[in-house]
């Protein structure tokens, strides 16, 4: 029988954990009994006793590696949720190479650094889960050159990880959300704004997701009974990816 969290460890590392999807994931997993450690530049003011936050700027890859390796020395981790990301909203003409490099560092390279630090412990335990948070924008979205490129790269990288880590009973899957009611989304798409109404009109379910709905899917992928699913991308977008089929 494949090892379960109960047989190994229930520690989970969540990046970008202070708000939005990461914050919801912290609470959902803590409520499910996991020992959750969150990485963020700043801890949220409403952190609970069962949530541990460690300050870390994941854009500083070497510093991030040292922080995560230090956490791994404290004890093994069963799961890693790579959620931290940056989203540049610029046209093709206005996208700088510096934007591309910044997005690649946080959206892709930081995920690699975190996995490399936790992977030895997962291999030793003979079990593990990796969930990478991509985006529906990986399929294409105007004014998202750097963001869509790096989120697509994360999907491709995850498929390779799934192949390499399968012999160690470590699964790697991707969640690609559509619009989610995070702080950043609300700032970019205010309720009632024309672009927000247009977006909702394109979503078959006629609403945006709540962060807790994405957190629930993360919990599903960490569950022992999800152990036969690896290398997959789960789109949680209210049907946005299939909306063209209605035309």
* Residues carrying an active site annotation: 147
Q: In 3D, which of 132, 180, 177, 170 has the Cα closest to residue 153?
A: 132
- Distance, in Å, from the CA atom of 99 to the CA atom of 163, rounded to the nearest integer, reads 30
What CA dihedral angle connects 198, 203, 206 and 211, to 10 degrees?
-110
DSSP-derived 3-state class of residue 152: helix
**Sequential DSSP letters for 11-72:** EEEEESTTSHHHHHHHHHHHHTT-EEEEEESS--TT--TTEEEEE--TTSHHHHHHHHHHHH
- Indicate the angle between helix axes 211-222 and 20-31, nearest 10 degrees: 50
What does the alpha-carbon distance between residue 137 and residue 86 come to, in Å, rounded to a whole number?
13
Number of other residues whose CB lies within 10 A of the CB of residue 65: 17
Which residues face 174 on adjacent strands? 132, 233
């Amino acid at each position: 029988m494949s090892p379960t969290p109960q047989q190994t460890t229930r520690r989970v590392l969540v990046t970008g954990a202070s708000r939005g999807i990461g914050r919801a994931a912290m609470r959902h997993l803590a409520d499910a009994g996991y020992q959750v450690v969150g990485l963020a530049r700043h801890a949220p003011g409403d952190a609970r006793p069962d949530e541990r936050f460690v300050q870390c700027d994941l854009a500083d890859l070497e510093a991030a590696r040292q922080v995560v390796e230090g956490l791994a020395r404290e004890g093994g981790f069963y799961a890693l949720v790579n959620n931290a990301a940056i989203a540049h909203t610029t046209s093709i003409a206005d996208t700088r190479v510096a934007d591309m490099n910044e997005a690649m560092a946080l959206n892709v390279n930081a995920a690699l650094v975190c996995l490399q630090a936790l992977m030895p412990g997962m291999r030793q335990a003979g079990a593990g889960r990796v969930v990478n948070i991509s985006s529906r924008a990986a399929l294409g979205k105007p004014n998202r050159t750097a963001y869509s490129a790096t989120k697509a790269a994360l999907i491709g990288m995850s498929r390779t990880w799934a192949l390499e880590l399968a012999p160690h009973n470590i699964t790697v899957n991707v969640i690609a959300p559509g619009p989610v009611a995070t702080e950043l989304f609300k700032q970019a798409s205010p309720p009632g704004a024309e672009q927000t109404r247009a977006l909702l009109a394109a979503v078959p379910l006629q609403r945006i997701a709540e962060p807790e709905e994405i957190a629930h899917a993360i919990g599903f992928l960490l569950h022992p009974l999800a152990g036969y699913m690896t290398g997959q991308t789960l789109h949680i977008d209210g049907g946005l990816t299939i909306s063209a089929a209605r035309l």
